[in-house]
């Protein structure tokens, strides 16, 4: 019985102890490990990945090719054709990194470099595209916004600088439009109108690639390719508070932007987009700061997901609705009021009054789709998509998608656009992000494998404890049963012995009786 009790007590203790460890101790240890692994401490693996990502980001460009440029000039409805993706491998490296222990931050300069990937692209970079001449449309939009009365002078200036162009549209290719640049020559301009525009462009030399005295090239990403962002970025390391990891503190030594009319649009809300706090919940928004569009974007939970065998929280994001969302009302500009849902005027951010939207005007005012042919919004293709691993907050798959548009209409003083239709004209959209490759997913898989092994061992020990208790119970039952079966066999023997012992006693008594008197 002593061995049975010991076995039962040992089994109970093992089960109860493993139950406590599994439900209380192990999660606490796991949480502590995640906190220590997610921080941006110098020398840690996470810090190395954060500084220089071992795989390039996917940077897909989709261009809207204009198929009826001549008809548009006379007022016809524009017809566009989406061409793409043109896939570029984007490297965003954090360099000149400086740690600041006093406030637990790290400061860096961000260098961006694009490399064309022909294998992942639908067409070559050299394919012909019809689109707005980027310099002409920029000059027209800026003058129309700032000094519309000077539009007649601009018409003469365009004739002088661009040799009397027949159209505001240009036949070009992807490489020139985005990276090599469209050529502009102001070196031989002598008339007043042309000289005035060239002088204004000279003041914006930082936007151009300079090829000589008053000779420039302009491409949408030409100046940014291979160079640093102008402002250094400072984020929290998350060593003192793991929930702050990656959160942007300042850009260019400023803790707020001065782009928009009011807050919170000027606030830096969220991380730098490369790392996020762990332990996500369905009711918590995830914020990221995007300096290229001068704002922060929130992602919100949609449904559970599964990516590369990992359970995820699937999020999406949008550009907000000023009519209902207080966070984006401050994007409304006094001169024009509020744009509809998921569209905003990025003019204060960019040098040109560009309108930013979701691709194909997805989830916006349908009237913009009626202005133009060739658009087909599709949530599967055009929604922003973010899949976060729940425990670590790792973005296993994340893609930001934004479209650049220009708001155009008839301009009586400008012959190139005298009869132009009124339309929010899409130029191109970008799909920017990544899905973790083998190098980045391997540490995550290894960690989860170790967690699984630990859980299996704990379950086995709990089952062993249960097995020991069952074995003790069975053994106790058998011993008790054996004892109850052997008890009746003892009683007859005792009676027989008692009878046997009584017989001689009786005979002895009879032998000692006195003889009869008779």
Question: Could you report the per-residue pLDDT of 179-202, keeping only the tens digit for each?
Answer: 999 999 998 888 898 898 898 888
Tokens of 178: 């985005």
| Higher pLDDT, residue 22 or 161 | 161
Residue 151 covered by a domain: no
pLDDT of res. 467: 78
pLDDT of res. 319: 94
Residue 118 covered by a domain: yes
In angstroms, the Cα distances linking 36 to 135, 241, 291 are 50, 10, 29
For 366-382, give the DSSP string: THHHHTSBS----HHHH
* Range with top average pLDDT, 146-160, 291-305, 337-351, 453-467: 291-305
Residue 80 covered by a domain: yes
* Range with top average pLDDT, 15-29, 114-128, 314-328: 114-128
| Strand ranges, E, within 383-472 | 385-389, 395-408, 423-435
SS (H, E, C) 403-422: EEEEEECCCCCCHHHCCCCC
pLDDT bin (cut points 50, 70, 90) of residue 486 is low
pLDDT of res. 338: 84
- Please state the pTM of the whole predicted model: 0.84
When divided into structural domains, the chain yields a total of: 1
CA-CA distance, 161 to 180, in Å (whole number)?
20
pLDDT beyond 90 at 72: yes
pLDDT bin (cut points 50, 70, 90) of residue 485 is low
pLDDT beyond 50 at 508: no
Is residue 503 packed enough to be buried (19+ CB in 10 Å), middle (13-18) or exposed (0-12)? exposed
Mean pLDDT value across residues 81-108: 95
In angstroms, the Cα distances linking 428 to 141, 300, 517 are 17, 25, 146
Contact 351, 143 (CB under 8 A): no
In angstroms, the Cα distances linking 369 to 67, 219, 340, 366, 407 are 17, 27, 13, 5, 13
pLDDT beyond 50 at 509: no
For 15-80, give the DSSP string: HHHHHHIIIIIHHHHHHHHHHHHHS--TTSHHHHHHHS-SSPEEEEEEEEEES-HHHHHTTPPPBE
Residue 518 covered by a domain: no
Specify the DSSP element, H or E, that contains 289.
Answer: strand 286-290
> Quick one: CA dihedral 507, 511, 513, 516, positive or negative?
positive
The model's pLDDT over 368-413, given as tens digits with 9 standing for 90+, comes to 999 999 999 999 999 999 999 988 888 999 999 999 999 999 998 8
Give me the residue label for tokens 């003058």.
143
Tokens of 297: 């974007």
| Higher pLDDT, residue 335 or 397 | 397
| Higher pLDDT, residue 260 or 146 | 260
The model's pLDDT over 30-45, given as tens digits with 9 standing for 90+, comes to 777 778 788 999 988 8
The model's pLDDT over 226-238, given as tens digits with 9 standing for 90+, comes to 999 989 999 999 9
The model's pLDDT over 200-211, given as tens digits with 9 standing for 90+, comes to 888 888 889 988
Contact 268, 257 (CB under 8 A): yes
pLDDT of res. 514: 46
41 Cβ contact list (under 8 Å, min separation 6):
47, 237, 239
pLDDT of res. 24: 76
CA-CA distance, 131 to 168, in Å (whole number)?
8
CA-CA distance, 283 to 273, in Å (whole number)?
19
Contact 118, 124 (CB under 8 A): yes
SS3 call for 101: coil
pLDDT beyond 50 at 517: no
pLDDT bin (cut points 50, 70, 90) of residue 513 is very low
pLDDT of res. 511: 43
In angstroms, the Cα distances linking 178 to 130, 381, 454 are 14, 23, 52
pLDDT of res. 203: 85
Indicate the average pLDDT of the chain: 86
Mean pLDDT value across residues 130-136: 94
Largest CA-CA distance found in the chain, in angstroms, rounded? 180
The model's pLDDT over 405-435, given as tens digits with 9 standing for 90+, comes to 999 999 988 989 999 999 999 999 999 999 9
Helix 26-38 with 438-511: angle, nearest 10 deg:
160
The boundaries of the domain holding residue 84 are 56-133+168-181+219-436
Residue 419 covered by a domain: yes
Residue 16 covered by a domain: no
Residue 190 covered by a domain: no
505 Cβ contact list (under 8 Å, min separation 6):
none
The neighbouring-strand residues paired with 388 are 313, 395
SS3 call for 119: coil
Residue 7 covered by a domain: no
């Amino acid at each position: 019985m002593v061995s049975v009790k010991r076995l039962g007590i040992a089994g109970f203790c093992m089960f109860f102890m493993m139950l406590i460890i599994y439900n209380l101790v192990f999660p606490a240890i796991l949480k502590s490990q995640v906190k220590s692994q997610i921080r941006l401490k110098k020398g840690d693996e996470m810090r190395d990945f954060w500084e220089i990502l071992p795989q390039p980001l996917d940077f897909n460009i989709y261009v809207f090719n204009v198929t009826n440029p001549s008809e548009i000039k006379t007022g016809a409805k524009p017809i566009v054709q989406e061409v793409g993706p043109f896939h570029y491998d984007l490297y965003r490296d954090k360099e000149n990194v400086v740690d600041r222990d006093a406030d637990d931050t790290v400061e860096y300069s961000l260098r961006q470099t694009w490399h064309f990937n022909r294998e992942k692209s639908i067409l070559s970079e050299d394919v012909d595209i019809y689109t707005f001449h980027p310099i002409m449309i920029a000059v027209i939009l800026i003058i129309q916004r700032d000094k519309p009365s000077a539009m007649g002078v601009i018409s003469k200036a365009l004739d002088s600088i661009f040799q009397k162009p027949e159209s505001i549209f240009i036949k070009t290719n992807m490489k020139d439009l985005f990276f090599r640049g469209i050529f502009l020559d102001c070196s031989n301009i002598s008339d007043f109108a042309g000289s005035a525009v060239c002088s204004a462009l000279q003041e914006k030399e930082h936007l151009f690639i300079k090829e000589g005295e008053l000779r420039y090239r302009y491409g949408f990403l030409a100046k940014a390719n291979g160079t640093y962002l102008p402002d250094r970025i400072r984020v929290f390391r998350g060593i003192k508070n793991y929930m702050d990891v990656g959160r942007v503190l300042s850009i260019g030594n400023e803790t707020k932007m001065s782009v928009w009319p009011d807050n919170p649009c000027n606030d830096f809300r969220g991380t730098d987009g490369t790392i996020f706090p762990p332990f996500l919940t369905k009711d918590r928004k995830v914020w990221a700061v995007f300096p290229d569009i001068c704002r922060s974007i929130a992602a919100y939970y949609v449904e559970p997901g599964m990516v590369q065998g990992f359970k995820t929280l699937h999020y999406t994001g949008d550009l907000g609705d000023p009519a209902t969302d207080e966070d984006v009302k401050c994007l409304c500009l006094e001169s024009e009021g509020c744009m509809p849902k998921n569209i905003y005027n990025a003019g204060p951010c960019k040098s040109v009054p560009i309108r930013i939207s979701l691709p194909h005007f997805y989830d916006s005012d349908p009237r913009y789709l009626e202005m133009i042919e060739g658009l087909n919004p599709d949530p599967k293709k055009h929604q922003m998509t973010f899949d976060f691993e729940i425990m670590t907050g790792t973005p296993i798959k994340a893609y930001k998608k934004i479209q650049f548009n220009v708001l155009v209409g008839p301009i009586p003083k400008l012959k190139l656009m005298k009869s132009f239709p009124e339309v929010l004209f899409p130029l191109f959209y970008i799909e920017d992000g990544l899905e973790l490759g083998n190098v980045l997913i391997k540490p995550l898989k290894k960690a989860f494998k170790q967690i699984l092994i630990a859980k299996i061992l704990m379950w086995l020990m709990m089952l062993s404890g249960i097995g020991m208790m069952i074995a003790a119970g069975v053994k106790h039952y058998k011993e008790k049963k054996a004892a109850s079966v052997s008890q009746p066999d003892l009683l007859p023997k005792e009676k027989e012995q008692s009878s046997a012992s009584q017989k001689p006693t009786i005979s002895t008594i009879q032998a000692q009786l006195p003889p009869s008197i008779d």
